[in-house]
Amino acid sequence: MPLNDRLKMRHLRTLLAIAEQGSLVRAAKALNISQPAVTKTLTELEDITAQLLFERSPKGVTLTAAGRILVRHAGAGLRTIHDGLSSLSSHEEGDAPTLVIGALPNVGATVVAPALVRFAAVWPQARLTVRAGYNAPLISALKQGALDMVVGRLAEPSAMQGLSFEYLYTEPLLLVVRPGHELARLSSIHPDLLYRYRLVLPDASTSVREAANRFFMTLGGGLPRHTIDTIDLSFGRSYVLQSDAVWCIPLGAIENDLQQGTVVRLPIDTRGTEGPVGVTLRVEHTPSEALLQVLDEIRISAAARIGSMARLNTLR
């Protein structure tokens, strides 16, 4: 019989009581059961683990090395179960957690939205607010406690004091145009052709704009002069679809449009524009159970995206 089928909660409670009391008799009193019942449970546990957990003596019992290991993990396990039951109780009683999440445009639709769909199925009473914007003001709001987390690119090192960043994946910038654009009909494009069109770029204050600037410098033509700067996806999409503009945008922000054929990716290698995407939290803030659940769901969304990004990021 597998160990986990034989091990019961009473075994762990008895183990911890004996370790705390240092005596089978005192453990029995603490558990409000008979001393023979404590002895029987301990014998069962030692049989299950195939380890001697306590050294017996006339003065009581002391933990063996194996016993100390098991006590450490049993204590942590029972605390986790207790916390989970407490959270479930609060959840069922209708407590409504309030979460405010900051999200960059490149992660809102592809990471945060599906994560919150799953979260809301478990926490239907939760009050959720998602604030989109630039990285810098979102990070500032996080530090001030106005946000619970920020999902987006890694901030500058100078801005990360008191914060932690959990890496999820990297994503590049892409160049896209409307279907039917003359560049979309080409199997290869000389970089000089890009400068003939107006370019829609991330706002100058964003980290992705810095990556875009570096990319255009490597093309040899210098920084674009005829540009429109914006992080407004609705505006960028509408402008590109009504013009011959070329849109330089993170893959995550345009992924759904690429899959639906709303825009077309140009066959230009943008390697070197990749940036780390992840979750930023306050170091000294203890996350609530609801926030931890959201974080788990975001990890799931991010993991699911890696394969789809690899397919979309393959040059034609």
Tokens of 72: 């450490």
DSSP letters, 246-265, are: EEEEEHHHHHHHHHHTSSEE
User: Does 282 score more than 60 pLDDT?
Assistant: yes
The more confidently predicted of residues 306 and 164 is 164
Same domain, 9 and 25: yes
Same domain, 179 and 269: yes
Domain ranges, residue 84: 3-92
User: What pLDDT was estimated at residue 1?
Assistant: 41
**Among 58, 92, 126, residue at a domain's last position:** 92
**pLDDT more than 70, % of the chain:** 91
User: Does 91 score more than 60 pLDDT?
Assistant: no
Same domain, 72 and 214: no
The total number of structural domains that make up the chain: 3
User: Does 39 score more than 90 pLDDT?
Assistant: yes
User: What pLDDT was estimated at residue 178?
Assistant: 97
User: What pLDDT was estimated at residue 137?
Assistant: 86
CATH of the domain at 297: 3.40.190.10
User: Does 83 score more than 60 pLDDT?
Assistant: no
Same domain, 267 and 230: yes
User: What pLDDT was estimated at residue 244?
Assistant: 96
Most confident of 73-87, 219-233, 290-304: 290-304
**Among 92, 113, 131, residue at a domain's last position:** 92
User: What pLDDT was estimated at residue 86?
Assistant: 57
As a whole number of angstroms, the distance between CA 184 and CA 4 comes to 59
pLDDT digits (tens, 9 = 90+) for 265-281: 999 999 889 989 999 99
**Strand ranges (E), the chain:** 54-57, 60-63, 98-103, 127-132, 149-153, 163-171, 173-177, 199-201, 227-229, 246-250, 264-265, 275-282
Same domain, 164 and 177: no
